[in-house]
Amino acid sequence: MIRLLLGGVKSGKSALGERLLLSGPPPWRVLATGRALDADFRERIAAHKRTRPPEVAVIEAGEAAMAALGEEAGRGGTILFDSLDFWLFACHDQDVMQTCLPALTKGVGPYAGPGGPELIVVSTEVGLGGLAAGAAMRRFADALGRLNQAVAAMADDVRLVVAGCPLTLKGSAS
């Protein structure tokens, strides 16, 4: 089963993802894609780690996230993929961005449908504000929008998190 959690920065989507992770069947894994390039982001990552129980394994995958998802699918349990936007950022080269959709479909595919392991995907919802002024930001927003739509199409449960409040867009919240 695939769950997609969308929202803005500090909307509460990762916190919801962690709650859903621990309510799913073990083994529990977090597939992390963010890279700590500055002190503030290092602290954000450390804060996430401090709140997780020790039995939650963390896989630091970066741009190799889709391969890691494929490898982990056979282990069952529940995976929190945090986050789709940071994976795309790790694959920021324009040529790579254009090949992300097939890679995403291959990586996420084993989790779709009944009987598969549970995958919780966190991503930033883009496009709720003005159009980005720079061409690179527009390409990134367009690519992330396409990836979010692709995951939503495969997902059983899609939620938009606003100010810590999850709104069900698809499926039934449990």
- Catalytic residue of the set 19, 35, 44, 48: 48
Give the model's pLDDT for residue 118: 96
Selected residue with higher pLDDT from 137 and 119: 119
Query: Residue 96: pLDDT above 70?
Result: no
Whether 173 contacts 16, CB under 8 Å: no
13 close to 7: Cβ distance less than 8 angstroms: yes
Calculate mean pLDDT across residues 98-123. 88
C-alpha dist (Å) from residue 93 to 32, 109, 139, 153, 157:
20, 24, 10, 25, 30
Residue 147 contacts residue 100 (beta carbons within 8 Å): yes
**pLDDT per residue over 130-151, tens digit each?**
777 888 888 888 889 999 999 9
Q: Enter the pTM of the model.
A: 0.92
pLDDT, tens digit, 9 for 90 and up, residues 149-171: 999 999 999 999 999 999 999 99
For 2-170, CATH number? Answer: 3.40.50.300
Asked whether residue 84 carries a pLDDT value surpassing 90, the answer given is yes
Active site residue 92: no
pLDDT band at 95 (very low <50, low <70, confident <90, very high): low
Q: Going edge to edge, which strands form the sheet with 157-162?
A: 57-60, 28-32, 78-82, 118-124, 2-7, 157-162, 165-170
Whether 64 has a pLDDT exceeding 60, the answer reads yes
Output the pLDDT for position 45: 80
